[in-house]
Amino acid sequence: MTEGSEIGERIRSLSPASAVAIRMNPREYADDYFAVLQSALKERGDGEDVHTIYVSVTNPCGLVWSIAQALDVSPDRISFVDAISHTMMNYREPLPNATYVESPRMLETIMLRVEYLLRRHASARPMLIIDSVNSLAIHNPQALLTEFFHILVNNLKSRQVLTLLLIVSEDTVSELDQLVSLIVDETIDVVRPPG
């Protein structure tokens, strides 16, 4: 288990071709989520040659972008594939650095958009964040989701892309934890110190 203060250090130390699951506590989701974003976007993604591709499945890219702005992340260092804004009817003001997918069920389209952004930012060291394995599991059958992750993560590893998969999980091991454990190199449990 990793305390919030150590998350940045762990993420910074990851090799470019790693796929990592970051498990967050559902009772501490907001705090854990912010700690992970701060660590990933600010501490790892702040390098001049790093470009983050953020796949929004739970939180619309507008919310994530507002957090990124608060962390002083430059707009040319982050792109979004937003698969939730249409579903939430939160598509009034599209971001210029975002591409929108109509539904989290459109897994092939998500992969194609990620591929497009990787090619568009080919000179950068890429990092991909998928903000919720849980949300993808709600919208997709497990067999299809397993195939999606195997294809996506293996492709990203072969291209030296650091991949962070966010998962909300209780202390007990769930089917999602088992699915994710088959495709990631390691799992980081986010734990913040009491008090």
pLDDT band (50, 70, 90) for residue 1? very low
20 pLDDT more than 70 = yes
Looking at residue 42, what is its pLDDT? 83
C-beta separation of 78 from 51 below 8 A: yes
Q: Is residue 16 a contact partner of residue 160, using CB atoms and an 8 Å limit?
A: yes
**Weakest-pLDDT range from 31-45, 85-99, 110-124:** 85-99
Per-residue pLDDT band at 100 (split at 50, 70, 90) = very high
Tokens of 38: 């701060």
Q: What is the pLDDT of residue 191?
A: 66
Chain mean pLDDT for the chain: 88
Helix (H) or strand (E) holding 19: strand 19-24
For the residues 87-112, what does the mean pLDDT come to? 88
Lookup: tokens for 179:
């699915």
Checking if the pLDDT of 2 tops 90, the result is: no
Mean pLDDT of 21-45: 89
Can you give the pLDDT at residue 5? Answer: 59
pLDDT digits (tens, 9 = 90+) for 114-146: 999 999 998 888 999 999 999 999 999 999 999
Torsion sign over Cα 167, 182, 151, 105:
negative
State the residue for tokens 């989520």: 33
Q: Say which residues have a Cβ less than 8 Å from residue 95's Cβ, sequence separation at least 6.
A: 61, 62, 65, 80, 82
Model confidence over 37-84: pLDDT tens digits?
998 998 777 767 889 999 999 999 999 999 999 999 988 999 999 999
